[in-house]
């Protein structure tokens, strides 16, 4: 599998595109981190205000180590902001803080796609840990005996992770839309600052899009192997 030219082409293309998007995202956040918000609010203050404005009083805003490690944890109801975002008073910090609070709002209102994503997490955790070994074993067994059952199981595990990647897309885009609407409607940012927030979140969303499409491309590759073998029987 590792030396199949088609597989190498797919994984290589995914890597290159992902690398380009990730670098573009980093450059955008580096640039917008230098734009100081006219209202002087920090990422923490932005997050706390958005939560209050949406009637959410049981979610805590905390700082977490690392860069672009920001996330909302529905298990303990915390908005986790990376150290830079937590204390920064920039358009980049405002965009990230509001986006993560967008997830908190989704949780509070029972957004269906977030609920589905949460239900998939345990299954995806198991699938992602097993699928590589099951796929390798499946291809080896198929090559040796022609039996495709193990490979089919591996593809099913891969399909679960691909489904998760696509379910994540509307969750992320909706959180960004909620964030941008709140920033604009409540006049938290000026028009030029809003444009920067929107651009930053657009590139952040594209990382999820690339991941989903890459997962789908790899899944289809393994499906082609399975179907090709069955047709040759």
Tell me the backbone φ, ψ of residue 54, rounded to 5 degrees.
Answer: -100, 10
How far does Cα 110 stand from its chain's mean position?
19
45, 100, 172, 196: which is the annotated catalytic residue?
100
| Catalytic-residue membership of 100 | yes
Residues catalogued as catalytic: 100
């Amino acid at each position: 599998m590792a030396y199949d030219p088609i597989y190498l082409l797919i994984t290589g293309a995914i890597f290159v595109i992902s690398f380009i998007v990730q670098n573009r995202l980093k450059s955008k956040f580096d640039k917008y981190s230098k734009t100081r918000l006219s209202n002087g609010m920090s990422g923490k203050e932005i997050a706390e205000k958005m939560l209050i404005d949406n009637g959410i009083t049981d979610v805590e805003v905390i700082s977490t180590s690392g860069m672009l490690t920001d996330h909302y944890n529905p298990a303990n109801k915390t908005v986790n902001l990376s150290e830079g975002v937590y204390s920064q008073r920039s358009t980049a910090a405002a965009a990230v803080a509001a986006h993560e609070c967008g997830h908190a709002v989704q949780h509070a209102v029972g957004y269906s796609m977030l609920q589905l994503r949460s239900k998939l997490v345990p299954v995806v955790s198991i699938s992602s840990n097993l699928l590589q070994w099951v796929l390798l074993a499946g291809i080896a067994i198929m090559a040796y005996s022609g039996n495709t059952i193990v490979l089919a199981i591996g593809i099913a595990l891969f399909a679960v992770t691909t489904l998760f990647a696509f379910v994540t897309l509307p969750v992320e885009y909706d959180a960004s839309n909620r964030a941008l609407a709140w920033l604009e409607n409540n006049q938290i940012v000026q028009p030029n600052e809003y444009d920067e927030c929107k651009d930053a979140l657009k590139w952040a969303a594209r990382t999820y899009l690339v991941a989903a499409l890459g997962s789908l491309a790899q899944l289809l590759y393994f499906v082609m192997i399975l179907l090709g073998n069955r047709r040759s029987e």
